[in-house]
Amino acid sequence: MGIRTVIRKKQPCYGKKEPYVISDNHLNRDFHVSKPNKKWVTDMTYLIFNGQKLYLSAIKDLSNNEIVADHISRRNDIKLVIDTLKKAIKNEMSMDSSYIVIKDSNIHPLIQQRAKKYNIKASMSRKGNGLDNACMEHFFLHFKAECFNLYSFRTAEEVKEAVHQSIRFYNHHRFQKKLHNLSPYEYRTQAA
């Protein structure tokens, strides 16, 4: 039947890093939320293919695990993060005193400005503390194991299409135990 298992590789541990915090830890690993757009997590990952590299930035809503925005760029820079945040704000305008977890060791002033404009509080703890952003890390691990690492891509357009299809499948069709065996989209629709 062509069925095979995919085993994720263990991620390397880089040890403890010096604490460096410029934003309070508002979320404090409290990942539970009942209303949409109250707690978001964000991160970025790299996608290496055919001797090239792209960067994927995504924002996830913790109320239903839905990816509310994603953006791909050839550069890992502040513009990538801001473009992703802009998409999320445009897609989800019903925000009210939300939190967003920024994993980076510092938050760029432009991100702080944009977040403040929309009443979003940046939340982070010490540098190198992956548990504070475990929800987003978990999504990227599954994404790479189930989509990206299974195929060989030749062009950036192929990668972008695969990312788009994978996130669409994740949001609309992949049921989750936490969501009572509904997809993130079905869970949000049912809650509304």
CA distance 5 to 8: 10
- Number of helical H runs and strand E runs in the chain: 5, 5
Tokens of 99: 């939190």
| Pairing of β 120-123 and β 98-102 | parallel
Distances, alpha carbon 161 to alpha carbons 80, 84, 106, 155, 164, in Å:
18, 17, 31, 10, 5
Angle between helices 156-172 and 184-191 (to 10 degrees): 40
Tens of pLDDT along 126-138?
Answer: 665 666 678 888 8
pLDDT digits over 42-77, tens only?
A: 888 999 999 999 999 999 998 899 999 999 999 998
**The predicted structure's pLDDT at residue 81:** 86
For residues 90 and 70, the answer to whether their CB atoms sit within 8 Å is no
The predicted structure's pLDDT at residue 155: 95
Quote the CA–CA distance of 12 and 10 in Å, as a whole number.
6
pLDDT digits (tens, 9 = 90+) for 152-178: 999 999 999 999 999 999 999 998 998
User: What is the chain's mean pLDDT, rounded?
Assistant: 81
The alpha carbon of residue 70 and the mean position of all alpha carbons in its chain are separated, in whole angstroms, by: 8
Q: What pLDDT is attached to residue 18?
A: 43
Task: Name the pLDDT band for 30 (thresholds 50, 70, 90).
Answer: confident
